[in-house]
Chain A
Amino acid sequence: EVQLVESGGGLVKPGRSLRLSCTASGFTFGDYAMSWFRQASGKGLEWVGFIRSKAYGGTTEYAASVRGRFTISRDDSKSIAYLQMNSLKTEDTAVYFCARERGNYFPDAFDIWGQGTMVTVSS
């Protein structure tokens, strides 16, 4: 079964860091670009960032709201994508989803999603 499972969410104080993981199974993870999204309670979806497959350089793109604070990386040997979140703010509180990109070079359409992991930033 093709599946993505996020983990690593929790309660963290403002200014601290947290790393989320997205573990893939059922497909060749290294062949796909991946993205992270978030959704605050009762709000809409927001794109966070994107990482290309190694075949396309493994480079990353980020939304302006997180650029410079968040970093996406991948370990194809473990089929895991990571979201490193630094200097967290209360407004980063949300459910974070990872998703598989249909294409590879730019953020476009995402056909497989994880169930999400909750991140709460509060003192």
Chain B
Amino acid sequence: QSALTQPPSASGSPGQSVTFSCTGTSSDVGGYNYVSWYQQHPGKAPKLMIYEVNKRPSGVPDRFSGSKSGNTASLTVSGLQAEDEADYYCTSYAVNNNLVFGGGTKLTVL
């Protein structure tokens, strides 16, 4: 059982927007602005898409955006493209120098 709760699946059609949630507690998501999101294609290494709740690393399209409200963080992918189909994981810094993960959301582009 993962420390952060993510829905197991999500889907959308090309061009649409989809939002993933990531729910934690005041000891992780709610207590720190250190939420990150990773994209992972099958058999590949994870790729950092968002850090510190809403910052994009260089090279990540601005179709990807992050936000947080209370103990829940969200990742929104706008203008869905076929290559966005992947697993998405949220992480958060947690008390006592821990890093916690969500169980991941599998995005299907219809």
Interface residue ranges, A against B (CB under 8 Å): 35, 37, 44-47, 50, 61, 63, 97, 99, 102, 106-111, 113-116
Contacts and interface: CB of A to CB of B under 8 A. Distances in A.
B104 A45 contact: yes
Given A97-B46, A106-B93, A111-B57, A46 B51 contact: no
A61 B98 contact: yes
A52 B57 CA distance: 21
Interface of B: 2, 34, 36, 38, 40, 45-48, 51-52, 57, 89, 91, 93, 97-104
Contacts of A107: 93, 97-99
Q: Which of A35, A45, A50 has the most CB of B within 10 A?
A: A45
Tell me the interface secondary structure of chain B in the complex: strand
25 contacts: A37-B46, A44-B89, A44-B102, A44-B103, A44-B104, A45-B38, A45-B46, A45-B91, A46-B101, A47-B91, A47-B101, A61-B98, A99-B46, A102-B51, A106-B34, A106-B97, A108-B36, A108-B99, A109-B51, A109-B91, A110-B36, A110-B46, A110-B48, A113-B47, A116-B45
Q: Which of A44, A61, A63 has the most CB of B within 10 A?
A: A44
Tell me the interface secondary structure of chain A in the complex: strand
Contacts of B51: 102, 108-109, 111
A109 B102 contact: no
Given A107-B97, A111-B51, 9 more contacts: A44-B101, A47-B99, A102-B48, A106-B34, A108-B34, A108-B93, A111-B48, A113-B45, A113-B46
